[in-house]
Structure 1
Amino acid sequence: MTLFSTAHIARGSRGRGRSHMIPIMLACALTTCAIALVAYLLWPTWGPGASSSPARLPVSVGATLFNVPTAAIRMKIQRHSGPQERVDLNFAFPSLEAPDAPMHVSADAVEEAVQPIDRIFLSISAHHDTLAPDTRVRTIYPRYLEQASTPGQDGLAMRAFRDGTPYSNEDLFFASAPNLSARCTRDAATPGMCLSERRIDGADLTFRFPRSWLAQWRDVANAMDRLTAQLRGPKA
């Protein structure tokens, strides 16, 4: 009788154990399914051909409308339509197409040799009624420039900024046909870069490109004009 009672108790314990395991197994299964669903929904979708972003975005900077290529926007946080304080873009030169991939240079490559730049960079920012770029060229820069100008090739002239001024180690290049004004750093350990600005309504456009491109300065000036026209949104 004792043996029968012991066996009966053991079978009852195993039965209760199995009955307790069923809810636990169901809970684990539901948890696994939930994790898989969340992972699927959050899995990155920016691989080749996976993006559903529009080719161009209407962006308002300084209450001025621009129609910018999505692929040309350098910062992901800026890839949205609507008002923005600033948008940073880059375009292949001379095609002016939006680049296929961001420009990455490894530390080893930098140490081995200076990588050539094949893009023109453009920042569009709200100016908030600061001094206009053309006014700065006419009234501010002359205070810091050397008196003599140096004739350049193909109608491009240059005046150097004096040492000890806020723009020392820079030069001002200018031409009138087509119109170009660019402030450029001088070649040193790194190649010199040029900055050219223009104002469109409530926004300032700042172009940056290598100083070496001034050998084809007409192409650069025309490229900036073309980009400005292409990016302007429809006028009211």
Structure 2
Amino acid sequence: MTLIMAAAALTAGAVALVAYLLWPTWVARPAGAPNRLPVSVGGTLFNVPTTAIRRKIQRHSGPQERVDLNFVFPSLEPPDAPKHVSADTVEEKVQPIDRIFVSISAHHDALAPDLRVRTIYPRYLAPASTPVDDALTMRTFREGSPYANEDLFSAAAPALNARCSRDGLTPGMCLSERRIDGADLTFRFPRSWLSQWRDVANAIDRLTMQMQGPKGW
């Protein structure tokens, strides 16, 4: 009996030693959201910052019909978490818009943005153009047209075509569109930013390049 008890004690000690040596020293932690997500819109691959996506339901990889994003201008970084608005702060002075908004959507073979500028808009534009500076020009849409109360701003270098509403009860906003394969990118920004339109045009180019997925995905 003594020998059996000694053997059992030795076996238990050996098992305990092996268990101690093999026991993992790492601690499992919940996985956080990735910094960027690969998404497919209109069969075209994009690599978008997760925190830039405006709608929670769109924060997943894979095929999507549309993705809505926003970036801080001029840094083009994804925004921080939105601040909570309380009854004490709701009446505070409205802060100026510092975001450039981007929507990526499948175009389903609709007319390309550059063709719309060349073939559709001229039908509704006033004949005269107004120079804004040495490279940017403005043409007004005629009253009674589908684009009444809007103006078209154009420049060649850097390239920019933006259809902008006029200031009224709310500040005027501009739309500028780009097409990448099966998707259209629509950029929205305040009309007041046209005072630095070269920075805006370069920002649109940078965001377009940064969000394109690597070739061969």
Structure 1, unaligned runs of 5 or more: 1-49
Alpha-carbon offset, residue 220 of structure 1: 0.2
State the match for 2:66 in structure 1.
Answer: 86
Contact 1:66 1:232 in 2 (8 A): yes
Q: Which has the larger radius of gyration?
A: 1
Secondary structure at the residue paired with 2:210?
A: helix
Contact 1:92 1:119 in 2 (8 A): yes
State the match for 1:30 in structure 2.
Answer: none
Distance change >3 Å, CA 110–CA 216, structure 1 → 2: farther
Alpha-carbon offset, residue 55 of structure 1: 0.3
Alpha-carbon offset, residue 110 of structure 1: 7.5
Distance in 1 of aligned mates of 2:85 and 2:194: 24
Given the two structures, how large is their TM-score scaled by the length of structure 1?
0.75
| Aligned counterpart for 2:111 among listed residues 128, 131, 140 | 131
Distance in 2 of aligned mates of 1:77 and 1:154: 44
1:122 matches 2:102: yes
State the match for 2:7 in structure 1.
Answer: none
Alpha-carbon offset, residue 111 of structure 1: 6.5
Structure 2, unaligned runs of 5 or more: 1-29
More deviation in 93-102 or 122-131?
93-102
Aligned residues, how many? 187
Given the two structures, how large is their TM-score scaled by the length of structure 2?
0.81
Identity of aligned residues (%): 79
1:222 matches 2:196: no
Q: C-alpha root-mean-square deviation of aligned residues, in Å?
A: 1.9
The residue type paired with residue 207 of structure 2 is L
**Structure with higher helix content:** 1
Distance in 2 of aligned mates of 1:110 and 1:192: 23
Residues 75-109 of structure 1: per-residue CA shift (max 9 Å, x gap): 00000000000000000000000001237777997
1:193 matches 2:173: yes
Secondary structure at the residue paired with 2:126?
A: coil
Distance change >3 Å, CA 142–CA 80, structure 1 → 2: same
| Aligned counterpart for 1:165 among listed residues 139, 145, 164 | 145
Distance change >3 Å, CA 62–CA 190, structure 1 → 2: same
Secondary structure at the residue paired with 2:128?
A: coil
Residues 152-193 of structure 1: per-residue CA shift (max 9 Å, x gap): 124110000000111000000000000000000000011000
Secondary structure at the residue paired with 2:162?
A: strand
Residues 37-95 of structure 1: per-residue CA shift (max 9 Å, x gap): xxxxxxxxxxxxx8710000000000000000000000000000000000000000000
